[in-house]
Copies of this chain bind each other. A is one copy, B any other.
């Protein structure tokens, strides 16, 4: 089964706006974060947001654009005291396809701007998908 390259190209649907400006100050995971901020979805995707409401938990997929893609083992949580493990057995942002998955609480919606709680990614991180949490 051949896959054409253009079919594997991600489309950015929006960007994060928050006050996390460095990895050092980023929470290690959404489950450890109470940081709020905004998902600024581009207007052309407005229709796709219909049905999302304040109070819901959504699953958001980010493209972690500053993560290296060529490393297969890491010290979990970036702590050298933790023995090295394969990236696929961790939540490290380092991985061949640096997609981050966070579950966020929707606080408010203004058009295509979603205020959310639980952010663990940097300001300006590209957003590639939103799904309802199962």
Q: Are A91 and B10 in contact (CB under 8 A)?
A: no
**Overall SS of chain A's interface:** mixed
Residue A78 lies at the interface, judged by CB distance under 8 Å to chain B: no
Q: Within residues 1 to 44 of chain A, which ones have a CB less than 8 A from any CB in chain B? A: 1, 3, 5, 7-13, 29-31
Collect the chain B residues with CB atoms within 8 Å of residue A134's CB.
Answer: 29-31, 91
The size class of the interface chain A forms with chain B is: 35 or more
Q: Are A89 and B7 in contact (CB under 8 A)?
A: no
Q: Are A45 and B9 in contact (CB under 8 A)?
A: no
Give, as a whole number of angstroms, the nearest-CB distance from A8 to chain B: 4
A88–B48 alpha-carbon span in the complex (Å)? 5
Q: Within residues 75 to 111 of chain A, which ones have a CB less than 8 A from any CB in chain B? A: 84-91, 95-97, 99, 101
Residue A132 lies at the interface, judged by CB distance under 8 Å to chain B: yes
Q: Are B95 and A129 in contact (CB under 8 A)?
A: yes
Q: Are A97 and B52 in contact (CB under 8 A)?
A: no
Q: Given the known inter-chain contacts A65-B3, A95-B129, please indicate yes or no for A86 contacting B51, CB distance below 8 A.
A: yes
Collect the chain B residues with CB atoms within 8 Å of residue A89's CB.
Answer: 49-52, 56, 58, 130, 132
* Contacts from A to B (Cβ < 8 Å): 1, 3, 5, 7-13, 29-31, 45, 47-52, 56, 58-59, 61, 63, 65, 69, 72-73, 84-91, 95-97, 99, 101, 124, 126, 128-132, 134
